[in-house]
Amino acid sequence: MEQAVEDLENKMKQTDERMDTLVVQVSNIESEFFAENGEQIEVNNLLKSVGEVRSNYQNLRKDLLEVQDLQRQLSSSLHLQLKVMQAKFNNLKEKISQTPVKSGQYSKSVKDQ
């Protein structure tokens, strides 16, 4: 369980880093495209930058899908653990209700306190 949470945190951190990189790349493309000083934009550099952004976007989508998968796995694991704990609780509750209490046992322990 702890490993699943750690994996999820690591994948989310990696995804955040990719998103930050993507934002920087898009900003760089915008600044190149809308350059105010009138310099001519090199089409090859622009195409290369767009290709890198597209590639990073695809990697980001892949990471997001992995994060969603890890979240589903963690949720399923937690749900299963909850069911197990409920079953144990119900089992113990049933055992307690079936165990006869001796008449002097409760009052004696109360008097001792």
User: What digits encode the pLDDT tens for the residues 53-75?
Assistant: 888 889 888 988 988 998 999 99
Domain ranges of the chain: 2-99
Query: Between the CA of residue 15 and those of 4, 50, 55, what are the distances in Å?
Result: 16, 19, 14
- Tell me the C-alpha distance between 111 and 80, whole Å: 42
Q: Quick one: pLDDT at residue 104?
A: 57
The 10s digit of each residue's pLDDT in 5-16 is 788 888 888 888
pTM value surpassing 0.75: no
